[in-house]
Amino acid sequence: MKYIEPHAHMVSRTTADYEAMALAGCKVISEPAFWAGYDRSSEQGFHDYFSLLTGFEPQRAAKFGIKHFTWMCINPKEAEDVGLANAVIDLIPEFLKRDNVLGIGEIGLNKNSRNELEVLERHIDLADQHDQLILVHTPHLEDKLKGTRLIIDALKNFSNITTDRVIIDHVEEHTVGMVKDAGFWAGMTLYPESKLTARRAIDILEKFGTDKIWMNSACDWGVSEPLATPKAARMMAQRGHSEEMLDKVFYQNPKEFMSQNSKFTI
């Protein structure tokens, strides 16, 4: 089965993971900018990271026949320092011109602080000014419910931002309804411990339908699984879903969302 991995942090993964994903049918990887596991000491560190995402990483993917796209931002875990965040945001317009950059992401909240919210609003404004797609990270565990509400409120404050051009990722059973009701796309992340298991993600699909929703592995340097997405597809098939439905969830839906940026081609 061909599939798109719409959220993976390949800078933290091995070349063997690229090969395994290619063998499993992966045609496209989309890689949002994220927290690398440590705080970068200056905006120059982000400049180097953005250069890697737009230069080396697509070359690495291409060796396995995978197209690589990316998203630009300073993630919410490094947003408490507003001065640094502003300096990083000022770097982003230069990178939005690169061929594999699809938009602003993954922006959002982590601990739901005032500074994180201020930096989120600057990112949304940047997306608004440059007519960019937005990929949103919602907080972890006990912080997710409150953070998702704050994020939706912040997005609604920008009248030019249309819900069709925003995906709110890492939804779970208690947040997917508010995201879908507000009209946004929803992303479900498959993690062995936190976020969703494949079983729960499929439950959500069966309850909320398969429109404007995708699944991803969000594989990174932590406890995560780069083949979580195709494994979830196999489980969907075991639960009686048709090949057509699998194609919609794992290929057509991410293609539909990301194709809103004309740079996205397969």
Partner 1 sequence: MKDDSPTIVNLVDLDFMDARARLLDLASFLDRVERAGQMDDYRVSALLEALPLLTNAGPDRAEKILLSLSDPTSEPIAEAHTKGAAGAWEANS
Interface with partner 1 by CB under 8 A: which range of 51-59, 62-70, 128-136, 143-151?
143-151
Task: Mention every residue, 6+ apart, whose C-beta is less than 8 A from residue 180.
Answer: 186, 208, 212, 213
Residue number, 35 or 184, with CB nearest to partner 1: 35
Report the residue number, 15 or 113, with the smaller CB distance to partner 1: 113
The answer to whether residue 114 forms part of the interface with partner 1 (CB under 8 A) is yes
41: Cβ contacts below 8 Å, ≥ 6 apart: none
Nearer to partner 1, 97 or 200 (CB): 200
Total of residues contacting partner 1 (CB under 8 A): 39
Tell me: does residue 142 bind partner 1 (CB under 8 A).
yes
Q: In what order do the strands lie in the sheet with 101-108?
A: 3-5, 26-32, 67-72, 101-108, 133-137, 166-168, 185-189, 213-216
Residue type, 20: A
**For partner 1, the closer CB: 13 or 248:** 248
CB of 142 to partner 1, least distance (A): 4
Answer whether 36's CB lies under 8 Å from 11's CB: yes
Helix (H, G, I), strand (E, B) or coil at 200: helix
Could you say which of 6, 105, 108, 139 contacts partner 1 (CB under 8 A)?
139
For partner 1, which residue of 12, 115, 252, 259 counts as binding (CB under 8 A)? 115
Stretch of 97-105, 115-123, 128-136, 162-170 lying at the interface with partner 1 (CB under 8 A):
115-123
Helix (H, G, I), strand (E, B) or coil at 161: coil
Which of 54/175 has CB closer to partner 1? 175
CA distances from 17 to 14, 49, 58, 236, 248 (A): 5, 20, 14, 23, 24
Report, in Å, the least distance between residue 163 CB and partner 1: 22
End-to-end CA distance of the chain: 15
What is the bridge-based pairing of β-strands 185-189 and 166-168? parallel
Contact set with partner 1 (CB under 8 A): 35, 77, 80, 110-117, 139-146, 149-150, 172-174, 194, 199-200, 203, 206-207, 209-210, 236, 238-242, 245
